Amino acid sequence: MENLLRKVPVQYCPRKRIRGDLVAEYIALKTRLGSRRIVSFDDWASSAKEGLDNSLLQWDRIETIVPVDCDDVRDLTINPAQTYIANGFLTHNCDYDVEGSLIGYTILRYARQGADSKAQRMKFSTMTEKELQSAYKTLSPYLDIPLVEAGRARHELDWLYGINLSRLLTESALKQNRGYSTLSTGRVQGPTLKFVVDREEEIQFFTPTPFWTIDATVTQNGQEYILEYEKEKISTLVEAERVVKDCKGTILEVESSESRNIQQSPPYPFDLSNLQSEAYRHFGYTPSRTLALAEKLYLEALISYPRTSSQKLPPDIGYSEILRGIANMAQYRSLASRLTLHTTPRPNQGPKEDSAHPAVYPTGESPKRPLIQPEANLLDLIIRRFMVAFGEASLRESSKLTFTKDPHRFFLRGSRLLKEGWIQFYRPYTSEESQKPPDLKVGDKIPFDKIQPIQKFTEPPPRYNPGSLLRKMEDENIGTKATRAEIIEILFRRGYIKNTRIEATSLALKIISLLNTYCPLIIDPAFTAKVEASMDNIQTLQTSRLRVLTETLDHLRPVMLDLISREDEIGSQLAEVATLQRIANLTFDYPCPQCGSKLKIIRSRTSGKRFIGCTGYDMGCRFTLPLPQFGNLSITQRHCKVCGFQLVQAGTRGRRPMISCARCYSSKIKAIASSTALPSTASQPATNRLLEATSLVKDQ
């Protein structure tokens, strides 16, 4: 704010009518005339250069551009903020969503002099020159106050819950004098962590149950086909063996043959959550990294605004123009040209809408600089998904042969692609698995090739990964499209969850247990979803920010008083678990290869660098291994396929984590160091040797 309000010297010419003066006078005239129509500025200015009334203008507050030939110039010191506010030169150009509206409003509000009531709102979804010019010509005369109020309420609610509860948890543990740990929770963090903890408990208490399946095959013209038994699971070995006994060495007869054509419509355009899920599935990018990459592409006018929940592409974005722009890019020319042949392209659209922005789409502009690989990957995914929306439905033939050997039935299913349709535009992001069934008719017979029972066990539910956890949050209406990825990152940073296949730590289990005991509502997804609905109701004027905050305070006050009265009890439990977790996070399961003691991560007191050292140091063991010196370091439960050593993961915010084996890396470095003394390798370029050394780092 200090920079905005600084005083600057301005040259002012009292005798010349110049463009800056005319703009100010034109705006004043529009304000005076109200809703009555007025000609465009260019038309008005052409006849307004002489003899106009200047009484409406505050000439000493207008920052103007002085003509070169003006010989009567005086220096004035003015306040730029006052200049623009006084004459209405204010537009709110932040992103058109809850956060953007609130940021711009806050700046205007603290600029004072009624700036928030005088500013006009500029709304746009891409940063292309054409759209920005169009948005500036069609400014909204008012700010989007309902969005602002919803944004304020969201921040204030997060502050009330997050600051109060997080501070209580952190200080209660700190008072036990067992070291500092940042502990946090909130109305979105709590339910999200509970999803992970509930899944962790399901997995821990899961008891595998045995069942059997029938593994049967037939061969036709040298091609082996796998059969499905009519029962997917057989509960006892006796029954499975009876099936095998009845069928082994016998002949199957084709009882029926069915086929049908299945038409598959193109997938919907990307909303943010779906974009994050697809980027994780195809590239392994975390939701936060995908959002960071998408924002870079947006700022360079390559894609539309990414923080959207819409699956719709309105006609006013200019389908044909974007497709022509894509066709100018060499790698998409042949594909996009097929779509530009259509006179009126119509996209396949999803049901989800966003009042502020359409679905994520490419602008059709080519990159003005070479993109790094992750940026290029994401842009390619978005461009292909956009083209897919205009593709025709694909057509697939699904077939099913039913074989009988009384009293048993077996099925053989096949599938083949008849018409590519939209699939041609979405390669390599879609699979095209197909298996043509054998050419058999009803009544044909074929012998079993093999048949045997296979024992299997029921499996626990799968662990969440960052993509599936984000989808769970969206399904339960927890958080917003803009905050969900950040919440997951916070849970990782707090040490509540770990690994790509997300596991809840002992600290997370304890925190959820305590919150479930003392304030269960804070981790109840239904309660958080209700609060999110209240935010939406503020936007639609069905409720007010003050009412939502009052209801929240009425609920939170007794909860906080109860927690404060139990602070020592809560703190002792948290401190004990936090201390044990800090030790566990630094200790390897893999023993020291020299003395058998435990290995742990140590930070040097002299250099500040971290490394793996042996806890048997006092007994004379000097075993050490190097570690990455960047990012947050964690020990995984995975082991190196080469040497069996426990892998470590180095993660930097917004980037894919690097997983590596410290022992293999150390061995490789030593081998390279010793090879430099050999004549055969002494002349090898240092860059090549470096590449060999770093190739052991696994980026998974």
> Is the link from the previous residue into 428 a cis peptide, with omega within 30 of 0?
yes
CA dist., res. 6 & res. 81, Å (int): 9
- 3-state class (DSSP) for residue 386: helix
417: phi then psi, degrees, rounded to nearest 5? -85, 125
Q: Is 140 helix (H, G, I), strand (E, B) or coil?
A: strand
Residue with tokens 């200047």: 54
Of 229, 285, 305, 361, the catalytic one is: 305
H, E, C per residue of 248-297: CCCEEEEEEEEEEEEEECCCCCECHHHHHHHHHHHHCCCHHHHHHHHHHH
Residue 399's Cβ-side half-sphere holds a number of Cα atoms within 13 Å equal to 18
Residue 434 near residue 204, CB atoms below 8 Å: no
**Cβ 362 vs Cβ 326: under 8 Å:** yes
Cβ contacts of 5 within 8 Å, gap of 6 or more = 79, 80, 81, 111
Residue 273 CA: distances (Å) to CA of 174, 373, 467: 37, 21, 9
**305 catalytic, yes or no?**
yes
**Residue showing tokens 């058998």:** 596
Task: Collect all residues with Cβ–Cβ distance below 8 Å to 326 and sequence separation of at least 6.
Answer: 332, 336, 362, 364, 383, 386, 387
Helix H segments across 15-97?
A: 19-33, 41-46, 80-87
436 three-state secondary structure = coil
Residues labelled catalytic: 305
